Structure 1
Amino acid sequence: MGTPLASCDGGVAVLSGAVNRVDSASSKPCLDDSEAKSPILIFLYFHKAIRTELDELQRSAMAFATGQLTDIQPLFERYHFVRSIYKHHSNAEDEVRL
């Protein structure tokens, strides 16, 4: 599902499943001028998003293992989403290091 960021010009957040607020050092809804001052913040937020997805994947897997979830399809979809994002992210990091 693509969700436009309300207070940013352009940009789309790609989400799978429920949305939880990601804790950040700033209470600003967007990075605005921060990325110009410290581009590393973009990577920090991306890594936090990956960790959040992994946490949700683990919660879903545990819920399925304990019988709280009966349909495994959403778990597979979340897994494939996280795996795809992780692969693309890892490939991009490898290219940067070269």
Structure 2
Amino acid sequence: MTGHYKSLVTKVCPNADVTVDRFHVTKMLQEEFNQARIAQKKAASALKVKEITKLFYCLKVSKYILMKAAIKLSEPQKQKLKKVKNAAALLGIMHELKEEFHALFI
């Protein structure tokens, strides 16, 4: 999926079609999503404001809930996801986009 891979395949096999499967794209999306979660958590802890730190505390243990398919979440996990989305709008948007991407393959 990187430029080097594509250029190598094109060079070695000029008539080949380079394709990318959904599993590799999903992996890339999840890695970016997790990096955004970590960045949000670091930003909250750097503020040192008690209320904001409490609000973002849920990000510390939210990786599994954010990565798991929304339709497979238990009711307590859905509540936790809702708290995370309220605490970090960016993660809420990224979660919705992840779910839309997965819906393409159902």
TM-score w.r.t. length of structure 1: 0.44
More helix by share: 2
More strand by share: 1
Larger Rg: 2
